[in-house]
């Protein structure tokens, strides 16, 4: 039911925006599926987010063999490109505690992302995160929560948001968090 709802939401959005183009959804091996197939086999889309990043990196960098790190709000997903496609896991993958026999990408998820919460003067980062609320909760966006993105901006490694909102962070906290 959920896959039908998601696919129909995409169909409706394309229709409302008057976009007349072929409609495909990516699956977790880096290839594409037609919407009807997604409705019947939604499990094939599990972990397609990191594989999309890996395929995009291959295209943008012109590399077919590489390690790709997809840094999101909550996690950083690490995967390997082999001949331009995500390497498949050689072992069965558990999804929600259920051992599967599905083709899955070999992706390592690390609980560290741009929205990871920084505590104890930079000594403890995550595993909790502001996630998709980063634009309202991170200091650089006017929020009240210190995140890894705030640390990166305070360290001068990136220029997003309002740098003046992190000017008060002690240099030692920045150094500790970066270490």
Q: What is the mean pLDDT of residues 51-76?
A: 90
CB-CB contact of 174 with 155 (8 Å): yes
Torsion of CA 144, 146, 152, 154, to 10 degrees: 60
Local confidence band at 138 (pLDDT 50, 70, 90 cut-offs): very high
pLDDT at 17: 97
What is the pTM assigned to this prediction?
Answer: 0.73
Domain ranges of the chain: 2-110, 116-178
Average pLDDT, the chain: 92
Question: What is the C-alpha separation between 104 and 44, in angstroms, rounded?
Answer: 8
Residue 73 pLDDT: 86
CA dist., res. 141 & res. 166, Å (int): 10
Question: Does position 137 have pLDDT exceeding 90, yes or no?
Answer: yes
The backbone torsions φ and ψ at residue 31, rounded to the nearest 5 degrees and listed phi first, read: -105, 180
Res 173: pLDDT:
97
């Amino acid at each position: 039911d959920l896959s039908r709802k998601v696919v129909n939401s995409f169909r409706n959005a394309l229709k409302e925006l008057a976009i007349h183009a072929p409609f495909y959804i990516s699956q977790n091996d880096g290839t594409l599926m037609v919407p009807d197939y997604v409705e019947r086999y939604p499990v094939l889309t599990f972990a397609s987010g990191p594989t999309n990043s890996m395929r995009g990196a291959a295209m943008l960098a012109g590399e077919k063999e590489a390690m790709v790190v997809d840094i999101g709000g909550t996690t950083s997903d690490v995967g390997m490109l082999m001949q331009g496609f995500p390497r498949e896991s050689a072992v069965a993958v558990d999804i929600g505690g259920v051992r599967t026999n599905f083709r899955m990408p070999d992706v390592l998820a690390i609980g560290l992302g741009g929205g990871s919460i920084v505590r104890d003067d930079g000594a403890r980062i995550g595993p909790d995160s502001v996630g998709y609320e980063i634009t309202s909760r991170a200091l650089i966006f006017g929020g009240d929560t210190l995140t890894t993105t705030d640390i990166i901006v305070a360290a001068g490694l990136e220029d997003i948001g309002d740098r003046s909102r992190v000017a008060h962070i002690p240099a030692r906290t920045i150094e500790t968090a970066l270490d």
